[in-house]
Amino acid sequence: MSQHRLIIPLLMEKRRRNKTTQQMENIWVVPSWNHLYTMVNNRPTLGKWGQQYKERVAEAAVDWAMDSDWVLTDDRKVILHTWIFWNDGKDKDCHNTDKAWADALEGILYENDSQALIQYQDFQIDWVNPRIEIEPIVGGLIKKDKPTRKNKPSKSQMVLDI
């Protein structure tokens, strides 16, 4: 398996109205939860811009997986060593980016993003080529417990009567 990194876009293009000119303009934003989701009937729903970003990430991941001979895993953890290359020097939280791209990697690197162990290695600034680099590594087997009793706590569980 190749050791080169999966490179996905850091920024997504979004359309907004300029407060000064009232004209519509395209801006580039780091996709956080607020940029990706809208509330519909009190439920978060991936918006149009979020869907476009997710498609871009998935396309890059499919290309990488094919080039790297990656095999989709459904019973193992996937460790994602991650480097972020920000577009500017403003303070940002790395973990605000991961919901969007972790979801987009479902069905490509792993069956469900609950298998993903995101480990941030570093962040830098790259004004010319902002991006996220991910080095996926197959991890340990996921052991799934099958309950032996229904609704009965084990001796090691605490029961609270409320």
Closest Cα partner for 97 from 25, 18, 34, 24?
34
Closest Cα partner for 122 from 3, 19, 5, 2?
5
Strand ranges of the sheet holding 76-86, from the earlier edge strand across to the other edge = 6-9, 131-141, 76-86, 116-125
What the block records as the tokens of 69 is 């001979």
What does the pLDDT look like over 77-121, one tens digit per residue?
999 999 999 999 999 888 888 988 999 999 999 999 999 999 999
Give the global pTM.
0.80
CB atoms within 10 A of CB 70: 19
29 φ/ψ angles, rounded to the nearest 5 degrees? -130, 155
In the chain, the domains with their CATH numbers are 6-141 (3.30.1330.70)
